[in-house]
Every structure is written in C-alpha cells, then in structure tokens.
Amino acid sequence: MNAETASYRFAPSGPLRGATAVPGDKSISHRSLILGACAVGETRIAGLLEGQDVLATAAAMRAMGADVERLGEGEWRVHGLGIGGLLQPEAAIDCGNSGTSARLLMGLVASHGITTSFVGDASLSKRPMGRVIEPLSLMGASFTPSPGGRFPLMLEGAHPAVPISYRLPVASAQVKSAVLLAGLNTPGITTVIEPVPTRDHSERMLRGFGAQLEVAEEDGARVIRLTGQTDLQPQDIVVPGDPSSAAFFMVAATLVEGSDLTIRNVGMNPTRAGVVGVLRAMGANIEEIDAREVGGEPVADLRVRHAPLTGIAVDPTVAPSMIDEFPVLFVAAALAQGTTVTRGLEELRVKESDRLATMAAALEAVGARVEENEDGLTIHGTGGEPLRGSANARVKTHLDHRIAMSMAVAGLVSRDGVEVDDTSPIATSFPNFMPLLDEVTR
Ligand code: S3P
C-alpha cells in the first residue's frame, strides 16, 4: 500500500502497441466478496481486483466474521456465514477512499443487529451518505452521521428490518445495491424502483447466487424485487477486466499516433460500456473481438487503433453507463477537432473529488481550453496538436485515482509532459497502472 504522496511526470510517449489486460472489475470484485460472505459455504473468486478499495471491503467482511483468504494473485476464497450471520466487528469499519465499500457495507449492516462506526479518508469524509441513510432509515436502521450526513458515522442496524419500496432519487448503483443488500436479511419483499438504469452487477450476481430476485419494466422504470431471508448458494466467480480501467488505455491508444493495442478480457456490460459508443461517435477505432459471456457478464477483447477524434455533444442519458469514464473522456475531447459538450453530470461533483472542477483545473493547467458549467464541461479541442501547458504546471488530483490516471494519459499527448502531484491514489483501483502503461509504450 502506498500511504505517501508521490508526484510523477508523465512524459510524451510513442505508440501503444501489443496486447495487455487490465485488472478485475472493481464493482464486481466488491460484490463477490460481500455475497460470498453471505452465502453458506465456500465461494471461489478468480481475477479479483486487489486494489485498496476492494481490500477495504475484504477487511470489513473479515471483521464481521467471514473467512476471507487470498490463495494467489487474484485468487480468493470466501467462507460465508449465511444470510443474517454477520457478527459485530470489534473496531470501526474503515472504508478508506472507497464510496462503494461505504454504501454497500452500510446497506449490508443495516439489517443486522450490529452497531458500528464507519470511517474513511479525507475524500470519502466529504462525500454524501444521506442518499443511503434515507432508505436504510426507512428500513429501521439508525444513524449518527457527521454534519451534512457524512463520515465518520455510527450505524445501528435494525433486526428485524422492515421491507420498503424505494424509488431512487439519484441514478446510483451504490444506493440501489445498499437497499438490495439490506433486503437480503429483511423478511418480505424489498423493492427498488430505478427510473434511470444504473450498473446491474448486483442484480446479476444476486441471481447467480440463487437469490429470489425479479426485474420488471413498469411505467418506463426498472423495478427490482428481492425476497429476503432466503439462502444464497456459494459460487465460483470469474471477474472480468474493468472497463473503467480499460478506458484509460482506449483513450491513450486512440490519441497517440501509430498505436494499435489490444486490451483483453474487458467487461462489456451495457450498463458500463457507454464510453466505447461515445468514443466511436467521436471517430475512435475500437473493434470488439471474440465477444463472449463469462460468469453472467458480457466480455470482449478490444482492439484500439489510433484515430483522429471530432468533438460531439454527448447525450446526457448515456452518463450512468460511463459515469467513471468522464475524466478520461475530457482528455480525449481536449485533443479532438472542435468542441465537445457534456451535460447532466452533476453526480461527478460528489465522486472521489469534484470531477468537473478538478478536471477543468487540470486540463487548463496543461493548456486545454475548457469551460466549466454547473452540470458539465465544454471543451475546445486542439485537433490533435499536443497539449502545451506551462512547463512547470503541476496537476492536483485531490485523492482521486481517476484524475491521476486521466492526466497520465494527457501527459502522453503533451509537448512537455504532465506532472501529477500525487499518483498514490491510483492504487485504490488500478495498482499496476504505471507498469502496464510503461509496458505498452516501450
Ligand atoms: C459503483 C457505482 C458508481 C461508480 C462507482 C462504483 C458501484 O457510483 O461511480 O465507482 O460499484 O456500484 P454511483 O452508483 O454512486 O454513481
């Protein structure tokens, strides 16, 4: 683990070539540990992302009594306790930088007779938790949050909890998943109504573990009904490569002339893969090879060849399917011909950092022309000319891994390189990002 800050200058690079594979999907990794811990018996996981965020979830499941063991690289074994079997942890649950650990674990604990505090780093302690406190309180859990509904907070679970029918006020898979996980140990049917679809890994995996879960389309919304307190069956899970991590390489290979890079085994779940469509609409050359299904999730190899990009107006309705990819899309837009307009991205202001403000400042520092609006950025691209910032500009990442990696990509297509103030947050989601980037640009 990288506890210290580490600045780094990402230099202009030659073409990205050959084949690579990114680590396992972060969302699926969290969920496999959590559901494994709720099943009776042994779940095996291959390709687990061993980033700090997922390790925080693993530590929390251990602290609540599950037997979670690392067998080898990405190979893990979870011996579950069964629904309702979680135990009182002895210390606070430390979620580090991870919003997913925070929201999902709060949901899980909310329907157990457990009282515990939740803590996180400076970034997580600024993020809104009211969005999960509200539905979980309706289910009977009690919360003592810090001012503004934030971490650190104390949670007293409800046992038994009360099933609710909850319409999501924000398009958030974390909120949806928190309510569904609370529903696992709640008698009766817990219902989540999703007016705007978000990533559906929880639903897919709950089904895979044998949960009684139904999804219907009603009045234009997705309605998810989960019957609580039925046993989960342990599974063998193969985690696909994370499309959000692959996106950095998709954009880098698209931007750097002469690139021809294959990224193997990328998760292509339609609720996640929006960035591929948007990049293609801008002119990117991304070919899907050997599209297949692995463990209930669509997967493909992606061959990405350099192509000039043209700015577009990004349809706001695609936002949930690429919510974590906007920082790197902004870098693509900064090198495109013409103007890219993004809207409907208020959620980016409450991620690991305020990603609209952070990316606007970072791109400006490296010479891009950016206008920041309340709900999006408008970016006037260079038409492929390298970014030319002041030579000693240093980009601020604000404890946000995706800002660090996006600006690393900007460095590859800059005249003088891009200095990132702190690369240590990269370890939360993509610990081997820098060696992989080195490997494919060598
Ligand atoms: C995640 C959902 C997204 C995403 C996060 C992971 C998940 O957050 O930004 O990185 O695993 O459910 P929201 O659902 O809050 O948008």
The enclosing domain of 145 has a CATH number of 3.65.10.10
pLDDT score, position 331: 98
Residue 31 lies in a domain: yes
If asked whether residues 276 and 415 sit together in one domain, one would say yes
Considering only CA atoms, which residue is closest to atom 4 of ligand 1? 324
- What pLDDT digit, counting tens, does each position of 46-80 carry? 999 999 999 999 999 999 999 999 999 999 999 99
CA-proximal residue: ligand 1, atom 13 (nearest): 172
Q: Is 3 inside any structural domain? A: no
Residues 191 and 311 in one domain: no
**Which residue among 127, 174, 428 has the greatest number of ligand 1 atoms within 8 angstroms of its CB, and so is best to mutate?**
174
Task: Kindly report the protein residue whose alpha carbon is nearest to atom 11 of ligand 1.
Answer: 27
Verify that 38 and 56 share a domain, yes or no: yes
Which residues span the domain enclosing 412? 8-24+240-441
Residues 183 and 133 in one domain: yes
Q: State the closest ligand 1 atom to the C-alpha of 351, by its place in the atom list counted from 1.
A: 9
Q: State which of 215, 238, 261 marks the end of a domain.
A: 238
Domain presence at residue 2: no
Among 238, 270, 302, the domain boundary falls at 238
Q: Which residues contact 442 (CB under 8 A, 6 or more apart)?
A: none
Tell me: do 169 and 231 sit in the same domain. yes
**What are the C-alpha distances in Å from 45 to residues 21, 66, 201, 295, 334?**
18, 15, 15, 11, 39
Q: Pull the structure tokens for residue 276.
A: 């591929």
Pair (325, 199) in one structural domain: no
Helix intervals (H) in 111-194:
130-138, 173-184
187 inside domain: yes
Ligand 1 mutation pick, 199, 206, 345, 403, max ligand atoms within 8 A of CB: 199
Q: Is 299 found in the same domain as 248? A: yes
Give me the pLDDT at residue 441, please.
96
Closest residue by Cα to atom 16, ligand 1, is 172
Residue 150 lies in a domain: yes
* Distance from residue 320's CA to the centre of ligand 1 (Å): 9
DSSP 36-103: HHHSEEEEEEES---SHHHHHHHHHHHHTT-EEEEEETTEEEEEEE-TT-----SS-EE-TT-HHHHH
- Give the strand pairing for 40-46 and 236-238: parallel
Question: Which residue from 95, 100, 129, 132 has its CB within 8 A of the most atoms of ligand 1, so it is best to mutate?
Answer: 100
- Any domain includes 1: no
Is 198 part of a structural domain of the chain? yes
Taking the CA of residue 324 as reference, the ligand 1 atom at the shortest distance is 9
Residue finishing a domain among 209, 238, 267: 238
CA of residue 31 to ligand 1 center, whole Å: 12
Q: Which atom of ligand 1 is closest in space to residue 31's alpha carbon?
A: 11
Tokens representing residue 114 in the block: 């457990």
Strand order in the sheet with 142-146: 93-94, 115-119, 150-156, 142-146
Question: Is the domain of 153 the same as that of 32?
Answer: yes
Same domain, 16 and 89: no
Query: How far is the centre of ligand 1, averaged over its atoms, from the C-alpha of 351 (Å)?
Result: 9
pLDDT at 310: 98
Asked if residue 393 is part of any domain, the answer here is yes
Q: Which tokens hold the place of 367?
A: 């010479």
Total structural domains within the chain: 2
pLDDT the model gives residue 1: 35
Q: Looking at the structure, do residues 227 and 307 belong to the same domain, yes or no?
A: no
CA of 294 to the centre of ligand 1 (A): 21
Nearest 5°: phi and psi at 336?
-80, 165
Distance 174 CA to ligand 1 centre (A): 5
Low-confidence ranges of the chain (pLDDT < 70): 1-3
**Do residues 286 and 270 share a domain?**
yes
Residues with Cβ within 6 A of ligand 1? 27, 100, 172-174, 177, 198-199, 323-324, 347
Same domain, residue pair 303 and 162: no
The pLDDT score that the predictor gives to residue 390 is: 79
Best residue for ligand 1 mutational test, from 52, 172, 200, 345 (most atoms within 8 Å of Cβ) = 172
* Residues known to be catalytic: 324
Residue 244 CA: which ligand 1 atom is closest?
Answer: 10
Sequence-distant (≥ 6) Cβ neighbours of residue 186 within 8 angstroms: 111, 139, 160, 161, 162, 163, 228, 229
Give, to the nearest 10 degrees, the angle between helix 26-38 and helix 173-184: 10
Give distance in angstroms: CA of 173 to centre of ligand 1.
Answer: 6
Predicted pLDDT of residue 2:
41
Q: How far apart are CA 246 and CA 37, in angstroms?
A: 28
